[in-house]
Amino acid sequence: MNPRLNVTRIRSLIRALATVSGAAILSGFLSFGVRADGVGPLSIAKQGYFFVGGNYVNKTGGEVLAGHAYVDYQIPKDLKHPYPIVMIHGCCSAGSSWNGTPDGRDGWAQYFLAKGYAVYIMDQVGRGRSAYVDSVYGQNNPKAPKFVEREFISYERYNLFPQAKLHTQWPGTGVVGDPLFDQFQAMMEPDFKDRTLRETFNRNAGAALLDKIGPAILMAHSQAGIYTFGIANDRPKLVKGMIMVEAAGSPFHEIANIGAPDYFKDEGMSKPWGFTRTPVDFDPPIVAPTDLVLEQQKKADAPDLAKCWLQKEPARQLIKLKGIPVMLLHAEASFAIPTAHCGAAFLTQSGVQNDFVKLADLGIHGNGHFMMLEKNNLDIAAVIADWLAKRVTPNETQNIKK
């Protein structure tokens, strides 16, 4: 969408918002401020949307368009950084998870806009405003409320992994029927059952997004890490940083949290290329993932951690990812923390320098997997901003185009 074609509509929207909340004011052509609790006024110079990726596919009854992803963007009036942040949500939400919280506080999109970053938010293929094309994507996999309660929000009630009892930061009770839980459940979207197909489409759409907007910082949550590693492999020169928000857990094998006394169950090979189900480049090159020689730790690094599957040394190198600043961000009480160290170890042995950041080590306690929605979400955003200032900002050498 070209914002210049929508001035009347935008001004009408602003007047409506001002009537409802008294928070919106017009401040020049396509530049307006909206009060954002916790962040302050946001002055947006330009906003809009577009679609990336996708192809026409012949199906019974005619062609359909599939594989496309919706992207919306906002560019702050005070643009301080040349590289935008591309936010890619995980399972099983859509891009709305970056735009606020169930209890109405600011989200990470607002935070980073206030810090002077342009923000692009992608709805995964088949989610949100990226339409689900049944005839191509096949059967979907909706998430039942009790599943969401147990796996995403109320870990402390189920104790399926050792750190679950530490979870304290969800803003509501975390149970079905609580208004804030219901807001979160309303965000849940059906997902592809075919994981490889889902990965292929999103990897291609992400690469197409970078081709359109140029160099960017990728911020991935959870499931989106699989796509993001593939995108970085395919467009390494366009990826200026990778913020992996619990998006680089156990490589190769899936590990299930099953509760005491064993806590962890190895569910076998799921990501044969390390973090991905589709090919990435190793050095020395491999023809098939079976060329990788793997071994599991005989003993876990700590009693509350799972045993890692890693390459047997000497490890092949992930050559396309070398030189890209990578942050692995993990919460204290998430289901992802028992395998978080495995992802860091796999990247390190594969020649990819990474900063493994555990919030608990920084004095930030009690967070779960959806940390961007929890009570202290902006404290965590500040950790990311600090990392960007140290690891990415020094490399911002191109001119900022406003």
Name the residues annotated as catalytic. 222
The 8-class DSSP code of residue 149 comes to I
Residue ranges of E strands in 260-361: 263-271, 294-296, 309-311, 326-330, 355-358
Q: How far is Cα 78 from Cα 204, in angstroms, rounded to an integer?
A: 31
The 8-class DSSP code of residue 57 comes to E
Contacts for 164 with CB less than 8 Å, ≥ 6 apart: 155, 156, 158, 333, 335
CA 79 centroid distance within chain: 23
Tokens representing 158 are 């189920």
Residue ranges of E strands in 227-304: 239-245, 252-259, 263-271, 294-296
Q: Is the peptide bond before 92 cis (omega within 30 degrees of 0)?
A: yes
355-358: strand order across its sheet: 24-26, 32-34, 42-59, 62-76, 119-123, 85-88, 216-221, 239-245, 326-330, 355-358
CB atoms within 10 A of CB 135: 11
Residue 200 amino acid letter = T
Please, are residues 126 and 133 in contact by the beta-carbon 8 Å criterion? yes
CB atoms within 10 A of CB 25: 13
Q: At what angle do helices 224-234 and 195-213 cross, to 10 degrees?
A: 50
The 8-class DSSP code of residue 152 comes to I
Three-class secondary structure of residue 267 per DSSP:
strand
Q: ∠306-309-311 over CA atoms, to 5°?
A: 150
- DSSP letters spanning 168-207: ---SS--STTSHHHHHHHHH----BS-HHHHHHHHHHHHH
